[in-house]
Structure formats: C-alpha cells, structure tokens
Structure 1
Amino acid sequence: MDIERIRQQFPVFSMPTLKDTIFLDGAAGTQMCKTALDASLQAAIENNANLGGHFSTSSIAQREIDRARCAAAALVNANCAEEIVFGQNMTTLTFHMSRCLGRSLRKGDEIVLTRSDHEANISPWLELAKDLELTVRWLSFDLNTYGFNISEIESSITERTKIVALSYANNVTGTINDVAAVAALAKRKGAIVYIDAVQFAPHGVIDVQALGCDFLVCSSHKLYGPHHGILWGRLELLEALIPYKPRPTSDKPPFKFETGTKNREAIAGALGAIEHLAWIGREFGGSSEQADKRQQIVAGTRTVVEHEQVLVQEVLEGLKGFTGIRIYGYCEPIELCRRVPTVSFTLDSTPSEVVSQHMAERGIRLWYGNNFSTETIRALGLDENDGVVRISLAQYTSQDDVHRFLSAMDNFS
C-alpha cells in the first residue's frame, strides 16, 4: 500500500498548520477521507431536501441513502439493505435498540455483559436492567488474554439469558475477542447477541453471517467518515420488534427505527467512507473493477490490516525497550491476528496525563484516561481518571510517524 497515495486522499495532510502533526488518535475518531467529505458536501448543496417528494432533490437524496444502505450491507455482509439502520451514533442506536428489545423482557430475565467493553455497550443495558428489574451477569476480564474471560461462558449464559452484549475488540488493550464462540452458545440458549464492532470495523473484515450474531453496530467516524452510527440487525428481528417512533413513521424496517429527519449529509459521508475502502481494494488489494462491492471492501480491509500490523509490531517492539513501562494487551509471542492496532501503556515514573501533554507539545495526538472503558480500567487495577496512554494506528499512519513517537518516548527512559 502506497502510504503517500493514501495520504493524498485525506485533505487534513495538505493543511499547512497541520503539516507535522502525527495522528495516533484513530480509536477515538479517524480523519475524514476526501471521498466522504465530498459526498457530505454534495448532499448539503445539491441534494438538500427531505425524503418522499416528487421533485429532483428529494429523489436524489433518497437514492443516495439507498446507495449508502447497500454499501453498509456490503461492509458487514448483510442479507439485504433493509437490515441497515442509521442513527446519530453507536451509543444512541444502542440505547434505542435496548429499549425496543426491552419491550419483550420481564422481571428476572438475564442480560450478560462483559468487562471488556466500551461503556456504550454497557450503560444502555444497565439502565434497562434497572428499569425492568433484570438480572445482570458479567463475563470478567481475563488478565492473561486482555479480553473477556471465555472460560466463563458456560456458567454465565443460562436458559434465562435473553441478551448477550459483547465487544468485538477492546478499545484499551486492542484485544480481538472471540465473539463467534460466545454467539454460538448464546444462540443455543435462545439469547439475542448484540455486538459492538466500533473498534474492530476499521481493522478487520466483518461478516455477520459467520459471527452468528443478531445485531452489530459500528461507527462511520472510526471508518474515515463523519460522525454517524450504523446498525445491522437480522431482518426477522427488526420486523418483529416494536419501536419507539412517531405515529406517521413507516412500520417497516429499517425506517421504523430511524426517528425524525435523517442526517443526509452524514449518511452520504458514510457512503463515501465505504467507497474509499473499496477504492483501496481496487488500487492496492488486487480487486478488479468488475468485482462486487463486498469483494472490493474485503480486499481493501485486508490491505489496510497488513499495513497496520507491520507498524503495530514495530510499536510494540519499540515500547518494550523502555524501563518502567507496562503495556496492556501485549503477550508473548505477539499474535497480531488477535489484536487491532491500538496500544495502551502506563509508565511507573510519569502520569498518563503528563505523557499526553508531552506528546501534544510535539505534534503527536493521542489519548489518555479511561477511554470510556471503565470496567477494563478497573480490572487492570488502574486509576480511572489517569488510566492509560493510548495510541491507535490507522491506514494513513506512516513508519516515520512511529519512529517520531518512539523518539519522543526517549524523554521518559
């Protein structure tokens, strides 16, 4: 993959004021690619109309949303575009869907959560459990694998379990969890499986058919697009669920879950971000122009993953050389296929906030703190506020970026 050609697709790198900036903050949100920006701008200027009209701008706006659904369906390998629901963000979609699912739950029913999750896939279910007097069971955090403890599956998922909410990849440790194994058992017990794939989506091929889940959510702004959420759900479940919606809204999925006026600019940008991934598949991944969108997306994703794995291995090897450092998610030997390119660490000598400030002064953007994964931070025995220093690599991260980051770390050696 030609990193210079990739960077040409991101206008941020041509801004003089950000010329020497290093973006290692992708796990919190990536920079927007040109395809996504252009699509959002076009929707705001040329297709700025509500849906359902007989005039051209309304028709074009509807056509572009239909295209975006098809692209998102190809991204996750859905059966049809009607299985794709758009929303403000993953958190809002999850709160909404938890309430819809809650209509069929009764006091004493069980929900299984994990301590390897972002709060967006914990708090909605805890609030639901509190309101309906449900029982919450937890898959604990495994300090050996840095993900949820898969050995607890058999005892945690029972005949009373109605929902199992899982994180595909931990946004602190980078661990890719074995969600398919948990989903298989959950389905045998008759439970619904809800997967947060926000952290995994930019760094791996998603196949909801192979996972065997019922719902999967991800976010465009981690996929080089605008801030917008994407939810996939099995069509038969979406058809059966009773939504919270205005009365005139259609009773058919996905429309019954999309309340109010849609953010057409963001949906267009999400389409542009997926088209960008397909472009990588054609340009660098060996996929042909004649291949279908799914094949192009898979080829593009695999090309990006290969690039990121080379860099994350260099980061891990480089950080190992510093004294007094603790890397969370690092195991010997390094199994790159079991992690996304997110690396978190602490220094015995320096608070995480101070490291973050030091890097910011040198044009290196990264995050510190709990990163909204308080359960993981607690399991690691860390301060919930100072948390960890977290870097996350992206398709536009270069080898020079890695070298500059490691060089900046010399101040703490």
Structure 2
Amino acid sequence: MPLPLDRIRASYPALSDGYAYLDGAAGTQTPTPVIEAIADAYRRGIGNVTGTFPASHRSDAIVAAARAAVADLVGGAPDGVIFGPNMTTLTYRLSRALAGPEDEVVLSRLDHDANVRPWVQTGATVRWAEVDTVTGELPVKQYARLIGPRTRVVAVTAASNILGTRPDVAAITALAHEAGALTYVDGVHATAHGPVDVRALGADFYATSAYKWSGPHIGAVIADPALLETLKPDKLAPSPDTVPERFETGTAAFADLAGVTAAVDHLAGLLPGEGTRRERLLASMTAAEEHEQSLFAELLDGLSTLPHVTLYGKPARRTATAYFAVAGHAPRQVAEHLAGRGVNVWSGHSYAWELTGALGIRDGGAVRAGLVHYNDRSDVERLLEGVRSIPPGRP
C-alpha cells in the first residue's frame, strides 16, 4: 500500500516553509503529534520520578511508555531500553562498561565516528574492517580473520550515514557470536529507513536516535535485560542499581520522552491499519522504505546523468542517501547554492571520519542529500534542477 503522502506531509508544520528538506540524515522534521505531546507534558505538569504526587506519577508513566514504544520500534524488550541525551553519550558510557586495554575490539571504517572513537578511547586493541572505496561495501569475509579469542566487541553500523550502505550485519554478528564476542550495532541512520528487528540483526546492543525518525533529541540503546544485568557501569552511589536505570545518569528529559512515544505512534500510523503497534510499525516502515527507494532511484538516475557530478559508492543495498561532489566547486559552496534555491542538503564529512579519510575527501567532504518518508517527487526535482543550474567556475 502506498503512503498517503499528502496527509503525512500536512502533519509536519516545518514543511510549509517552501523548502525541500533533503537533510533528514542530519535530523528529520517533527510532526504535530510529537510537538503536542511534548507541550502537553509541560502543560499538565511533570515531576521527577518515583515521587508520591500526581506530577511524579505522570513522569513514571511517560518513561514506561517511551521504553515500550522504542522496544516496539526495533523489536526489543522495554526493560532493555536505555535512554540518554544522544547516541554518542550512551556509546561512550557503554564502551567503558564493555571494553578495556586488555581487550580487542573490531571496528569498521564505514561507521560514524560515534561508533568508532568511544571504542578506540577505551584503550582496547583495535582491528579494522576496511571498506571497498569503489562500491562503498563492507565485505563480510574479512571479519573471519579480524575476530579472534580476545575480541570483546564487534561494533558495526546498520547503515552508513553518508553512502547509505547497509552491510550484512546479521552475517557479521554471527561471526562475532561464534567467537564469544558481543556486538554493538549503530542503527542511528538505519532506523528511519525501514523496519528493524534487533534479534534478526544479532545486535546485542542497538543504538538509535529519535531525532532521526521524527522525534526529539533523545538517544536510546536497546539490549537484552539479562545481558545488562551482567554489566556494572560507573554511577552515583544513591542512583538506582536496577536495569536499565543504572545506565542512565542524571534526570531524564521527561517531556521529550513523551515526544519519543508520540513519534513511534506517528510512524506506526503512516499507513491506516489495525493490529499491534509492532505490526503496524512493520507495515508502515516497509511502505516508507519502498516510497523512499522509488524516489531515490530517480535521484540517482538524475545525478548520474550530470557530467560534472561524482557520486560516491554504489552499494547493492542502501538507504536513500546520496553523497556527491560537483566538479570545480567546494561542497559547502554547492550546499549554499542549493539553499539559495530552497533545497536543504548537508556538506562536509558528516562525522564519517574514517570513511571520508578512506575516500580521500575528509577535508571538505562532499554533499549529502537524503530522503525520508515525507519527501516527495518535487523535492527530488528541485535538487536535480538546482545541481544542473550550477554554472561553470562558481555556483
């Protein structure tokens, strides 16, 4: 079933400003139900959790609802959902509980630096999985020689945030588990672009960020509660020792967590239908992926016909994310030119530090245009028209 795009777009107030929002890989816009859920939490009154009064009880309920919603989104358990201000902060925190100088970790050059640097800085010995810089693929075969008896963690992305590459995560995690290693999967870019099943991926830990899928700036890591029980992170002495609370430092952003639940409900309702929220999410996100890929084929075809455009990567399976350069023009100049024509794109390395280094373009990076479920054909046409309009010599 196709997405009811007019209805979906009407639910995003920001889209009324006339711009083509092709910067979803840097953060999506926010629909009215999410905005209202956050505002309503403040209007009704919230307090810190575990108190004796109604405002505190409301916060208790908000946190529980948000854990259940994120668990439905990715196929996890509510008691295994850890919240924090962002994925980077949570990954730093969990990396310290999972690895140290006596361990080995296997990292990939495909990953965003948030799933690289925290592990490097544990002092563990790093073994690198390399990217095919022509195709943008992350070959699985290399993991058989990289993973060994001292491997504690294999960290890998579910989708590159610049090339869109979707590596065979399940095959990589299977090799890790055969060696007794744990897996930490960065799903920040992937989650917005299709259905997610953490068990099928083999992810012991799955990280995501709500602002990439129409929610507020909240990060989450999902794991098996029984696995979390085996870990003892640093924490304040009087803070809870229960799971998942012992991984959450400080007071939560309760109103934003109300927005997290609303964002998941919004995604579950992209298509009309019945069933559990998990079932509706699978249907809606499958339709969203089909919609994005249909538009993306037009975007890639259009860019590939332009002689002054270089496209990076051609992975077999990818999210609707294009990374390209325009001959004779700095990526920032291209982005500024497109912004002047009402098209929002990103430029630079986009924190894909190792990957842009491997591609030889870390200094300046390239231009990134990404599609999400609320984009339409006119957005693609405006991007292509904008790139075509860049004159020789300067934008």
2:129 is aligned with 1:139:
yes
Q: How far does residue 329 in structure 1 lie from its aligned partner after superposition?
A: 2.3
Among residues 182, 192, 195, which one is paired with 1:202 in the alignment? Answer: 192
Aligned-residue offset at 1:13: 2.5
Matched AA of 2:259: G
1:84 and 1:386 map into 2 onto residues whose CA distance is: 36
The within-5 A match list for 1:4-403 is 4-14=6-16, 18=17, 20-78=18-76, 80-102=77-99, 105-107=100-102, 109-129=103-123, 134-281=124-271, 283=272, 287-288=273-274, 291-330=275-314, 335=316, 338-382=317-361, 384-403=362-381
Counterpart residue identity of residue 32, structure 2:
K
Take 1:385 and 1:303, find their aligned partners in 2: how far apart are those partners?
A: 37
Give the match's secondary structure for 2:155. Answer: strand
CA contact (8 A) 1:316 1:330 kept: no
- After superposition, the CA RMSD in angstroms is 1.3
**Residue 293 of structure 2 aligns to which amino acid in structure 1?**
Q
The 1-side partners of 2:158 and 2:82 are apart by 19
Identify unmatched segments of 5+ residues in structure 2: none
**2:107 is matched by which residue type in structure 1?**
L
Distance 2:90 2:220 in 1: 8
Task: Give the drift of 1:148.
Answer: 2.1
SS at match of 1:137: strand
CA contact (8 A) 2:334 2:367 kept: yes
Alignment length (residue pairs): 389
Distance 1:101 1:330 in 2: 34
Indicate if the aligned counterparts of 1:11 and 1:34 stay in contact, CA closer than 8 A. Answer: yes
TM-score of the two chains, using structure 2 as the length reference: 0.96
How high is the TM-score relative to the length of structure 1? 0.92
Shift, 1:144, TM fit: 4.2
Give the conservation status (yes or no) of the 8 Å contact 2:81–2:244.
yes
CA distance, structure 2, for counterparts of residue 252 and residue 339 of structure 1: 38
Residue ranges of structure 1 left out of the alignment (5+ in a row) = none
Partner secondary structure for residue 323 of structure 1:
coil
Amino acid at match of 1:259: T
Report the CA distance between 1:106 and its aligned residue: 5.0
What amino acid maps onto 2:186 in structure 1?
D
Which range is displaced more, 113-122 or 232-241?
232-241
Report deviation, 1:11. Answer: 1.5
Contact 2:47 2:55 in 1 (8 A): yes
Query: How much identity, in percent, do the aligned residues show?
Result: 38
Residue 381 of structure 1: CA displacement?
1.9
Deviation at 1:2, TM superposition (A): 2.1
Deviation by residue 1:243-299 (Cα, 9 ceiling, x = unmatched): 221112221111111111111011111111101011114x2xxx31xx111101111
Secondary structure in 2 matching 1:85:
strand
Conserved 8 A contact 2:98-2:152: no
- Is this contact kept in 2: 1:193–1:215, CA < 8 A? yes
- Runs of 4+ in structure 1 over 3 Å off: none
